[in-house]
Structure 1
Amino acid sequence: MLLGKDLSRYLGIRVLRKEAVMYLLTLGASPLPRPLNSLASREHLRPWLTRLFLCILWPGLCKARQDNVRIPDNLVAFICLLVQLHSTGYPGRRLADFLQNILSDNLVGSRNVWNGALPRPVSDLYEYTSPHKTRLDPREAELEAIVATSLQGLPFAVQMSPRLAIGAQDIGLFAARISENLALKFFNPIQIDPVISLVFYKAKT
């Protein structure tokens, strides 16, 4: 979600070689935390986090094998990124405000999800829309479980809604057995990674 030239400003990473297409992207260590004036401003950090968050929720359409692009990150990785950004030098208040908007289902941004096939073109970095609210209630249960079980370890303060869990002891664990769907195996022309996603939410009337 970043160009090589932006890695230092957003992530505090020293780039030694940024020809990532034909060669290898070579990174070097940098002392942390970085000075705040060397990092992305609040006005640039928030749109980038919004875009990255939406990419994790809906990365785009996969192609068949050989042309398949994997996007392995999930919401756990996103929370870990916020923790790392605090270590990089960003104020905890900025990161807490962003996460608070997600937990309160009040995320407003000027980015849309990518509905095309992966990989995403570089031109998508410069695509903006009018500010709009993103509906997050279908992912509330997942976000609740992740944040509730890590709340005590976050380096910034987040206030959980009274209706949400505040600790691992409040999260239920469920298990189910599934069997292979042979029809999909033999008749589905697109081969994708064998995963299952479950979404729990209360439909709005």
Structure 2
Amino acid sequence: MSARKQLIAAGRRLVDMGLSPGATGNLSIRDGETILVTGTGASLGSLTDADIAEISLTGEHLGGARASKETPLHVGLYNRGVEHQAIVHLHSPQAVAMSCLSPWSERNAVPPLTPYFVMRVGQTPLLPYRHPGDAALGDDIRTAPGPFRSALLANHGSVVSGKDLGDAVERAAELEEACRIALLTENSPRRELTPQQIRELAEKWDSPWTHSPVD
């Protein structure tokens, strides 16, 4: 399947999963030495070729639709390394709600309550608030400390990368579920995974996590 068809299929899937309310969110995928990203204002559930922009790895517009205003966010995450091959940025309800709370730790916005969050997503920092489309979002994600493949943007939403679009979509869904569980248990005495349990999971599944008692 071509990169463009992958974007179109992933957009429909995210809408079907209830993770892209209204005309929100944007997707991108590396395509050789360029990036294909959904256009500004495009509805993920009804994408066509005309809704896709082509940009350089530095964010320069090369053709197609006008790129999403959140393009700097995508470029910043791609610039962290070649392991980031596709990116999903969403305003899904549970992740947005979680992004409005104080983070669980310095490098992780979401508490480690399930093995699936640790295995499939890994540590997820909370990045500072910026206005949507602010170019500084790209700098924030590019320079944030520690390894990660997902982050919450304060009072905004989530950004998740994967080795391909299917992988990024699955991680975005798992992050949404982890946020939902965290919110459901927020005011209850809850049992988090222990540092040892987290370490074992992260090492077995090659998932990014800072191994310390507080992170």
Normalised-by-shorter TM-score class: under 0.3
Q: TM-score, normalised by structure 1?
A: 0.24
Larger strand percent: 2
Q: TM-score, normalised by structure 2?
A: 0.23
Larger helix percent: 1
